[in-house]
Amino acid sequence: MRFKEFTSEEYTMSALFAAVAFLSLIFAGYISDTYYKEKLSQGYYGSNTVYIKVNDPSKQLDQKSLYAGIKDAIIFQELAGERVRAVFFRGDIEPPPLLKGRFFQEDDFFRGKKLVVIGNAYNPIVTERKGHDYIIINQEEYEVIGYLGGNEISKLDYMLMVNADAIDPGYGGVYAIDGNSKQNIAAAAQLLKNQVEKAGGSYLVIEREPRGIKRLMKNEHANALLFFVLISTFLLSSVAVNLSLYEKTKREIAIQRLLGFSSKTIVGQILRDYIFLAHVGFFLGLSVALFLVSYNKIHLSNSLAVIASYFVVILFGLLVIILPTMQALHNQTRELLSE
């Protein structure tokens, strides 16, 4: 494939693609960071976490069935407030940040293991043996598989989580259900409610007051507006570039037509050029973002944000390219030359 020689206008367009990619990445990173800090400030419970108080079941809940039924959700049972929790999950969940070690894995549950993930505050009671760390809970030894915490001091430093099947769960208590989507949380909550009813108990959904920094910062409104302004900038810019490009493209298309190029060939050539420019722009934006990440100036949320930003660039590019091209193709050659 041979690319034609690009003009300064096309390089400008590539720079705009780079800016779109970069802005999308930064904004996604910022939003994801805000979400992370909100979770961190309320003991790693999310804004959508559902809290259920289980009352008076005549027998223990069948946690194994519950475990088998949930999908992409994590269930915490508060054993001593929110600081000490029993936990199990299935599917894709967002694990808490760890200083070292690992979080639980699906095959840690209901396999007779006694595992624990602890915050820094428990360090003094950790004993090391043959390269493994252990702590004693209720006269029983648990293997420490991970240390909770991030770069900042948080509630995670005082937390302790054990795999739910390792500890006597008692008959009632507060369960917190979290997950990656409201639907998965609702489905897991419904399963828990069914289990409670099966065990002859009752439940109460607790409307726990959010205690994170979001309420204090009150920046959600500003973030939404920021997003709106960014989108508006992209759209308006796409119109501006679009018009500018039309002026340039129309003569080129007219000449190609006079030379006998078919519309298919013309569109193919334009798309090839556009794809090249969009990719140059995207990777340029991504490189700048990664450069800033390496200097710890910004955070990128995850690979999903990179993929999302890629699609934003492509969409922006389509707005920029397709419309003037279609407009130019629709017009007569004579009109294109005389305009």
Partner 1 sequence: MRAEIIESIRQKAFLGLIIILLTATGLVFTAIGTLGINHLHGRLLDFSTKYQDEHIFHLYDPFNSEEILRSFLNESDAVERLMRFHERLENNPYFRYLDLNSQSIYIQDYSGPEKFVKGYEDGRADLNKPVDINGNLYRPVKGMQFSELVFTTFKPSLHSGRYFLSSEYHYQEDQPIPLILGSEYQGIYSLGDQLNIYFLGLQSRAQVIGFFNKDSYVFINGDIGYLDRQMVMPSLEFAFPALGTPIPDYLFAFYHVKTSGYVISKDLNADEVQVLINQFCRECRLTGWQIEGSHVNNLDILNLESHEFFISFLIISVVVFIFTFINIVLSLSLKIKNNLHTYAIHLISGATPSDIKKVIAAEIAFYLIIANILAASFAYLKFAYIGFNPTPLVISIIIGVLSLIYPFHQINQLNISMYLRGKR
Q: Which residues bind partner 1 (CB under 8 A)?
A: 12, 15-16, 19-20, 22-23, 26-27, 29-30, 33-34, 37, 40-41, 51, 53, 55, 78, 81, 152-155, 157, 173-174, 204, 206-209, 211-213, 215-219, 222, 225-226, 229-230, 232-233, 236-237, 239-241, 243-244, 247, 292, 297-299
**Least distance CB 48 / partner 1 (angstroms):** 17
**Least distance CB 17 / partner 1 (angstroms):** 11
Secondary structure (H, E, C), the chain = CCCCCCCHHHHHHHHHHHHHHHHHHHHHHHHHHHHHHHHHHCCCCCCCCEEEEEECCCCCCCHHHHHHHCCCEEEEEEEECECEEEEEEECCCCCCCEEEECCCCHHHCCCCCCEEEECHHHHHHCEEECCEEEEEECCEEEEEEEEECCCCCCHHHHCEEEEHHHCCCCCCEEEEEEECCHHHHHHHHHHHHHHHHHCCCEEEEECCCCCCCHHHHCCHHHHHHHHHHHHHHHHHHHHHHHHHHHHHHHHHHHHHHHCCCCHHHHHHHHHHHHHHHHHHHHHHHHHHHHHHHHCCCCCCCCHHHHHHHHHHHHHHHHHHHHHHHHHHHHCCHHHHHHC
**Least distance CB 239 / partner 1 (angstroms):** 6
Toward partner 1, which CB reaches closer, 13 or 145? 13
Toward partner 1, which CB reaches closer, 81 or 260? 81
Toward partner 1, which CB reaches closer, 74 or 174? 174
Contact 327, 248 (CB under 8 A): no
Toward partner 1, which CB reaches closer, 146 or 285? 285
**Least distance CB 178 / partner 1 (angstroms):** 16
Cα(238)–Cα(321) distance, integer angstroms: 9
**Least distance CB 84 / partner 1 (angstroms):** 13
**Least distance CB 174 / partner 1 (angstroms):** 4
Q: Which residues contact 325 (CB under 8 A, 6 or more apart)?
A: 249, 253, 267, 270
With 0-12 / 13-18 / 19 or more C-beta atoms within 10 angstroms meaning exposed / middle / buried, residue 225 is exposed
**Least distance CB 278 / partner 1 (angstroms):** 16
**Least distance CB 222 / partner 1 (angstroms):** 5
Toward partner 1, which CB reaches closer, 29 or 146? 29
**Least distance CB 130 / partner 1 (angstroms):** 35
Toward partner 1, which CB reaches closer, 22 or 282? 22
Toward partner 1, which CB reaches closer, 136 or 240? 240
Contact 154, 97 (CB under 8 A): no
Toward partner 1, which CB reaches closer, 154 or 325? 154
Toward partner 1, which CB reaches closer, 41 or 63? 41
